[in-house]
Amino acid sequence: MPRQPGYRVLTDPLSNMEARFTLALGFLGLLLGIFVSAGVLAGDEQGRVNLLFLLLLFAFLPVVSLLLGLVLLLVKQNGITALLVSLPFWPKAFLQARMSIESGNRRRSWLFFESQVLSLAFAAGSIIVFIALLLGTDVNFVWRSTLLEATDLLPILQIISMPWSFWNDAQPGLDLLKQSQNSRIAGGVSSYSENWWQFVLAAQLTYNFIPRAVLLVLARLHYKHKTRISSRLERDETTVSQRRPADPEALATVVYSLPDAYQLLDWSNAPEHCKHFIARTFGKPVNLATLSANADVNSLQRSTELLSRVVLVKSWEPPLGELKDIVTLMDAQTQNFILPLDWNETSIKAASPAHLQEWRRFAASLGAWKILQPGEHS
C-alpha cells in the first residue's frame, strides 16, 4: 500500500503571502528610516545638525524600543507591529493569511520577527541617508545645551563609545566637543565639527543596526522552530525492514463424516470429554494413540494398517512445524484427516472460520489430507 504523505507544516514559514508581507513591512521601515533620518540630518537653516538629537534617534530610542519589544514579548502584550498588522489597509489575501498565522501558537513569534524586520529596515534606511548625506553634502555636527558643558558630556559619550573603543577615529574627545559646541551667544561653528560622523555611524551600527540584525536572526530561528514542531514529529521515523509477501492460499476440503473405521491420533492432549464427543459424533475409533513430536510413526501405522487416520488438534493453536514433520511421514495410501476442535472445560464446538481457514491451508500443504469437522446435526 503506498504510504500517504506524512504530517506537514500547516503554513510554510516562507509562504508567498508571509514573504510578501515581510517585504512590505521592510519597505515601510526603510521609507520611515529614510524620511525620519533625512528630516533630522537636514539640520537647521544653516545645515547644522544637532548631535544630541542624532544620539537620541540613533542610540537612545533604538535601545529603548529594543528593550520595550523584549519586555512586551515576555509579558505577551501587543506592540507597534501588532497594531500595524491589524490596520485595515492590508490586502484581503494578507488578512486571510494573517488569520491563519494568528490562530496558531506562533503569533507572538511571528510578530516579534516582523518587528525586527521593521526595525532593521528602519536602521538601514537611516544609515543609507546618513552615508548619502555625508557623500553629497557637508554635514556640520554641533551640540547645544544650556546646562551641560563639554566636560559634563564627555563621560557620557565615552560610555556610549565603549563598544567601539578599538576604533580611534570614532572616539569622542574634549577638544572635539568644545569645538563643536554651538552657542547662540558665543556664535560660530568650528571647522572640525564634521569629524563626528564616525562616532555617529558607530553609534548607529552598535545600538541600532547590529542588535536588530542579531535579533532578526534569532527571531527567524525561533519562528522556524515554532513552525517546525509538527515536522519534528514527522522526523521521528520508524524504519521497518521488508518481508516477503505470503504465497497465494490453497485450501483443503472439509468433510463432516468418516468413510470407515479410523484411528484417532491425539496431538493436543485433549480432555476425556472431548474424546467422548468424537466417539459420539464420528463413531468410536478402532485405535486411540497419543501423537507427539518424538512419536514413532512406523509403529503407530503398523498397528492400524488400512484404517482412516484422524489427527485431533486444538483449533485455536496454529499448526506447528513439528506436527507437519510427523504427519508428512504418515502413509499417504490411507485417508488422512485433521480434526481441529475448539473446547473448554465444559463445551466442545467446531473450529471458528478463521481457525478453520488456517487448518485448511495447513492440510492443503500436506497433499491429500482433508479437514474433518462435526456437522450441523452433531
Rounded Cα distance between 29 and 119, Å, is 6
The cell numbers describing 221, all together, are 530561528
Cβ nearer to other proteins, comparing 105 with 191:
105
Question: What are the Cα distances from residue 312, in Å, to 263, 319, 324?
Answer: 10, 12, 13
State which amino acid sits at residue 22. Answer: T
For other proteins, which residue of 91, 318, 367, 375 counts as binding (CB under 8 A)? 318
Q: Is 372 helix (H, G, I), strand (E, B) or coil?
A: strand
For other proteins, which residue of 7, 27, 35, 167 counts as binding (CB under 8 A)? 7
Size of the site for other proteins (CB under 8 A): 52
The per-residue DSSP string of 55-99 comes to HIIIIIHHHHHHHHHHHHHHHT---HHHHHHTSTTS-HHHHHHHH
For other proteins, which residue of 46, 146, 294, 299 counts as binding (CB under 8 A)? 294
State which amino acid sits at residue 336. Answer: N
Rounded Cα distance between 39 and 320, Å, is 92
Rounded Cα distance between 90 and 222, Å, is 25
Site string for other proteins, 248-267 (x = CB under 8 A): -x------------------
CA atoms within 13 A on the CB side of 324: 12
As measured in angstroms, the least distance from the Cβ of 15 to other proteins is 13
Torsions phi, psi for 178 (to 5 deg): -65, -40
Rounded Cα distance between 59 and 203, Å, is 6
Listed residue (82, 85, 102, 100) closest to 21, CA to CA? 85
For other proteins, which residue of 12, 35, 67, 100 counts as binding (CB under 8 A)? 100
Cβ nearer to other proteins, comparing 235 with 377:
235
Is residue 236 a contact residue for other proteins (CB under 8 A)? Answer: yes
Cβ nearer to other proteins, comparing 177 with 348:
348
Is residue 325 a contact residue for other proteins (CB under 8 A)? Answer: yes
As measured in angstroms, the least distance from the Cβ of 249 to other proteins is 8
Rounded Cα distance between 278 and 251, Å, is 24
Q: Footprint of other proteins on residues 328-357 (CB under 8 A)?
A: 344, 354
Rounded Cα distance between 347 and 344, Å, is 6
Is residue 104 a contact residue for other proteins (CB under 8 A)? Answer: yes
- The helix (run of H) or strand (run of E) holding residue 347 is none
Find the part of the chain contacting other proteins (CB under 8 A) among 48-56, 98-106, 166-174, 369-377: 98-106
As measured in angstroms, the least distance from the Cβ of 247 to other proteins is 8
Site string for other proteins, 47-86 (x = CB under 8 A): ----------------------------------------
Positions in the binding site for other proteins (CB under 8 A): 1, 3-8, 10-11, 96, 98-100, 102-105, 107-108, 229-230, 232-234, 236-241, 243-244, 246, 249, 269, 292-294, 314, 316-322, 325, 344, 354, 358, 361-362
